[in-house]
Amino acid sequence: MKKVLFVCLGNICRSPSAEGVFKHLVAKANLEDKIFVDSCGTAAHHEGEPADSRMREHAQKRGYDLTSIARGMVKKDFEEFDYILTMDNSNFKNVLALTADDQKYKVKKITDFCSNHPHDQVPDPYYGGPEGFELVLDLLEDACQGLLNQIQKELHQ
Ligand code: 4NP
């Protein structure tokens, strides 16, 4: 079993979308019993809330049902998960600072797995317009496919 945790700031826009997009790909590949997927945020301000309604609408239009409920990151996450995937430079630094040295290899930026976009971050869409939410989904669709390819290789090793 490989365990994947997507992390953003609030766990109401980017990481719930990554969770939704990746779960969709995992289900399509019939790997639900081999890959566990979750998401969380470094800030717990939105704990207990569903994903942002704008994010859910944009995702729904592409066929993704975002059902996750926001939670903050906890210490146990660093031991439990194999991949800890962050969204932007600040998020990456914040998570890395919380991670013990022997677990730091697990922490990456999700854009490391993009092959069709030059972006090195998934920008926070919260204070912007609709195009920001679309960009989040464009980048995550690209990155999640790359991530699944990588994990499938590991599962076959
Ligand atoms: P997320 O977006 O990190 O992608 O969930 C944000 C959600 C909320 C806030 C910032 C970013 N906020 O400042 O409340």
Using CA atoms of 73, 35, 136, 6 in order, give the dihedral in degrees to the nearest 10. Answer: 10
- Over range 45-68, report the average pLDDT: 97
- Closest residue CA from atom 14 of ligand 1: 10
From the candidates 52, 88, 124, 142, which is the catalytic residue? 124
- Per cent of the chain over pLDDT 90 is 99
- Closest residue CA from atom 9 of ligand 1: 10
pLDDT at site 36: 98
pLDDT at site 149: 98
- Over range 72-98, report the average pLDDT: 97
Asked about 14 being catalytic, the answer comes back as yes
Asked about 54 being catalytic, the answer comes back as no
Q: Beginning with the edge strand found earlier in the chain, give each strand of the sheet holding 2-8 in spatial order.
A: 35-41, 2-8, 83-86, 107-109
Which of 126, 127, 133 is the pocket-test mutation for ligand 1 (most atoms within 8 Å of CB)? 126
> Residue 99 pLDDT more than 90?
yes
CATH number of 2-155: 3.40.50.2300
Quick one: DSSP state of residue 50?
B
Residue 12: pLDDT band (50, 70, 90) is: very high
3-state secondary structure of 65: coil
Residue 39: pLDDT band (50, 70, 90) is: very high
Q: Is 42 in the pocket of ligand 1 (CB under 6 A)?
A: no
The CA-CA-CA angle for residues 22, 114, 65, to 5°, reads 25
Asked about 62 being catalytic, the answer comes back as no
- Note the residue count of the chain: 157
> Residue 157 pLDDT more than 90?
no
pLDDT at site 19: 98
Residues in CB range of 53: below 8 A, 6 or more apart:
none
Q: Is 128 in the pocket of ligand 1 (CB under 6 A)?
A: no
Residue 130: pLDDT band (50, 70, 90) is: very high
Q: Is 140 in the pocket of ligand 1 (CB under 6 A)?
A: no
